[in-house]
Structure 1
Amino acid sequence: MLRSRPVLLLIDVQEGFYSPEWGERNNLDAEKHMLTLLQAWRRQDYPVIHVQHASGNPNSPLHPSSKGFQFKEGFGPQEDEYLIRKHVNSCFIGTELDSYLKANGYDTLILIGLTTNHCVSTTARMAGNLGYRTYVVNDATACFDCMSYDGKTRLPAEDVHTFALSSLHEEFATVVSTKETLQVLQTFQYAQNHN
C-alpha cells in the first residue's frame, strides 16, 4: 500500500529525443500513456516533478542552446509543478530532488519518460537505494536501438527496454503498466477519502 501521495516523476520528455539521429525506438505509444498518467495526477492535484536534461556537450540535442532542450509539446510543467534540471543520468545527482522529496514527506515515486535504459533506469536504481518506494511504468517509457559493448551487435530497442526493466524489477523498483498504476491510484484515492 502507498504510504504518501505518490509523486509522478516525468523524465526528459524533450524535443531532442525526437531527432532521427537516435535511431529506431520502441513503444511508440509511450507518450500517450505518459499523458494519461500526467492528466490523472493533475486531476487529483497529486505532486508532479518534471525533469529536464541539460547536457554539458554543446553538440548534444539536449544542450540548453539547442531547440531539443525544450520539452515536447504538452509535457512542460504547469502552475506549481516542480521542475528539476540535471546534467547526468540520475535525477538525484547534482539536484535538489532528494532534499525536496524528504522536505515534503514524499516516499513513493512513479517514474515515466525517456530513456528506459539510461536516465529512467539510473534514477530508479538510486531511488531504490535511497529507500523510496519506486515504480517504473513499462508502457510509459521507451528507448532506442543500442550497439553492444564490443560493437558487433545491434540490439533492438524492444530487447534493450525489456532487459533494462527486468534488471530493475523486484530489486530497485516494481515494474507496472499504466493500467495497473491507475488502478492503484484509485485505491489510494479511496483510502485517502475514507480516513
Structure 2
Amino acid sequence: MEINENAALVVVDVQKGFESEFWGRRNNPEAERNIAALIDAWQETGRPVVFVRHDSKQAGSPLEPGTEGNGFKDFVEERRGKGSGPELFVTKSVNSAFYGEPDLDAWLKGAGVGQFVVVGIQTNMCNETTARMGGNLGYDVLFPIDAMHTFDLAGPFGWTQSAEELTRATAVSLHGGRFARVVSTEDVLKGAGAA
C-alpha cells in the first residue's frame, strides 16, 4: 500500500465525552494505541494532520461545548501542535468533518491533498460519514478499522447491533461500495514508511 507524501490523517472526535457510560459498551480496546501510533507517524514524517472535535448542540450531551467531555482525550491533546507538517483544527456539530469550520475540503484541496486516512470515534457514525463524503468528493480514503471504535446501538423495530456487528457492516459497506479502502493500522504505517 502506498501512502502519499502529503496524505492527511483526519483524527475524528477523540474526545473525553466518549468515556462516559452514556454510550454503553464499546469495542476495540486497542483503538487509542493505534490512533496514537498513526498520529506519531504522521507528525514524524511531516504529513498533514487534521484534528476534528464534535461540539454537540444537544443539552446534556457528554460532548457539549464548555464541558470536560468536549475536550480531546489527553493522548491526543498532548500531540497537537507537535508535528513538523501542517495541522488543522476543525469543529463540527454534525456527523461529517466536511461540514465543519473551517472548510476541510477547501483546506485539503488548497494543500493539494488527494488522499486521507480516517481514524477516531465512532466507526459507524462520524468516521463512516466523513469517509463516504470523502469518497464522493473524489479523495482516496483509507479506513484503518482497528484505529477506531464504536458502541452497541439500538435501532427501529427492536433491532440492535453490537459494536462488532456495526464495525463489520461499516467495513463491508465502505469497502464493498468503494467509498474507502478498509485496511489495518499496520498496513498504513508500513505504507507511510513508519513501521
* TM-score of the two chains, using structure 2 as the length reference: 0.91
Q: Is the 8 A contact 1:4 1:108 kept in 2?
A: no
Q: 2:164 aligns with which of 155, 158, 163?
A: 158
- Give the equivalent residue in structure 2 for 1:104: 111
Number of aligned positions between the proteins: 186
Q: Tell me how far apart the structure 2 counterparts of residues 111 and 32 of structure 1 sit (CA, whole Å).
A: 15
Which structure would you say has the larger Rg?
1
Match of 2:142 in 1: 135
1:184 to 179, 184, 191: 191
The answer on 1:167 being equivalent to 2:173 is yes
Which aligned pairs between 1:1-195 and structure 2 lie closer than 5 A? 1-3=2-4, 5-76=6-77, 77-79=80-82, 81-95=87-101, 96-150=103-157, 152-170=158-176, 171-186=178-193
Give the Å deviation of 1:3: 4.9
Question: Normalising by structure 1, what TM-score?
Answer: 0.91
Q: For residue 148 of structure 1, report the CA deviation from its aligned partner.
A: 2.6
Consecutive unaligned residues in structure 2, runs of 5 or more: none
State percent identity of aligned pairs: 38
Runs of 4+ in 1 over 4 A off after TM superposition: 1-4
Q: Give the deviation of 1:176 after TM superposition.
A: 0.5
Q: AA paired with 2:142?
A: Y
Alpha carbon RMSD of aligned pairs, Å? 1.4
Unaligned runs of at least 5 residues, structure 1 = 190-195
Amino acid at match of 2:81: Q
Helix, strand or coil: the match of 1:28? coil
1:58 Cα shift?
Answer: 2.2
